[in-house]
Structure 1
């Protein structure tokens, strides 16, 4: 097992070991030169995207110019997160001129559970996107009962999204969403109590790892539930890193991505020192990755 993989798995295996249940993750079993030589899958170019939260600073100064530079780097898609004063129609125009395609938009939970839902779905059509994504849940819902209520709401939102001719609603996780509260794993509640036809998950692999989850195992245990990923790397100190420069073993992690139904690999970095450098480095790594 490589140092990177040890760093990625440390939290989850430490928890399992403490409970006397330590197991080797499925994607670690084939580690070694033979497994590396057998890796032949590549991420489709149309599946490499940028989650625009990463680019929020340059977007605020020059939205169309930022999109042009992302297209020049090689990105095919974007996840919209903040419009910076632009309408959905204006952003669609910017995207069309660059050849980029929006695949999803982050929309607040309170908007999708309230009277703003119809307009949010209409805006997705305008953007040319497929999925509404809840970026986070209110802190007050971080209990088993709160997550059960969220699951009920997600099923309702997903039904409306499907009826509008869109895909299922997705949920974007953070580390606290993988917490065990009163003996129940919160994220598991959402997985188990939502309809797979109506609700999917935009798995942020950094936050999953940070929260003690195993993304590779989630792909296998919950097939076709993860159409989109946030591909975010973890620095040695636990912070954020450009994709490919940190400790997460993406080649091993993605071996079962096809089982999980992954269609979009969206780069994200929460606090890049140079957003365009992050965009370049991360794209190059994903484009060259074999898994």
Structure 2
């Protein structure tokens, strides 16, 4: 919804509720205070389940980020992106330590700390998949993961394999589909077998499913098509 939220935030949130969404993920406040954004969510009848926060914010006034998360009423605070300079084995080892510290503070404040992947997280460096370094070097009491299904599959990895190897570490799934040519697609119109993945939800520890499309031609139409597919999906 990022192309619509700057100019029509309340109308956009209202329409998502009309389509049938009950929850949303927050990725930016679009110039509004946390209190004002929460009021718009409440008016629409939506509940925010997570909010994204930058790595820079995590390294800065993290307490303020946690306070914002509490105002929004979310359960999870998520770091969604890394600079290219950190995409090394040493970088991920350092990040594991930083995430652990941030996750400890989040847990102590009643929140869950998550990291959201992209395809670069699955690079193999010195025989080690970088994403695996984060999973292996962090405590599930402090650090867990918002698994973006599109980016994992796009990188050539099977989400279910991760559920088996790291059970309980994936409380949120970014539900995004992949077209045959590798581009983004409305959920249900692409190649990802969501039924197979969702059947292992208990093993993964899934609590929330967040629909995403990075480049929709018509955001609300895309959201509605994805919603209708998922509503009808039996698994």
Asked if 2 retains the 8 angstrom alpha-carbon contact of 1:236 and 1:247, the reply is yes
Task: Name which of 65, 83, 88 aligns with 2:29.
Answer: 83
| 1:221 counterpart residue number | 165
Asked if 2 retains the 8 angstrom alpha-carbon contact of 1:144 and 1:186, the reply is yes
| 1:241 counterpart residue number | 185
Aligned pairs (5 A) from 1:84-99: 84-99=30-45
Asked if 2 retains the 8 angstrom alpha-carbon contact of 1:216 and 1:257, the reply is no
The Cα shift of 1:241 comes to: 0.2
| 1:49 counterpart residue number | none
Q: Which has the larger helix fraction?
A: 1
**If the length of structure 1 is used for normalisation, what is the TM-score?**
0.80
Task: Name which of 136, 139, 159 aligns with 2:81.
Answer: 136
Higher relative contact order (CA 8 A, sep 6+): 1
The Cα shift of 1:142 comes to: 0.6
| 2:105 counterpart residue number | 160
Q: Does 1:254 align with 2:202?
A: no
Inter-partner Cα distance in structure 1 for 2:100 and 2:156: 26
Inter-partner Cα distance in structure 1 for 2:99 and 2:190: 33
For structure 1, list consecutive stretches of 5 or more residues without a partner in the other structure.
Answer: 1-54
Whose radius of gyration is greater, 1 or 2?
1
**If the length of structure 2 is used for normalisation, what is the TM-score?**
0.98
The Cα shift of 1:264 comes to: 0.7
| 1:58 counterpart residue number | 4
Q: Does 1:174 align with 2:118?
A: yes
Q: What stretches of structure 1 move > 6 A for 4+ residues in a row? A: none
* Cα RMSD for the two superposed structures: 0.8
Inter-partner Cα distance in structure 2 for 1:212 and 1:151: 23
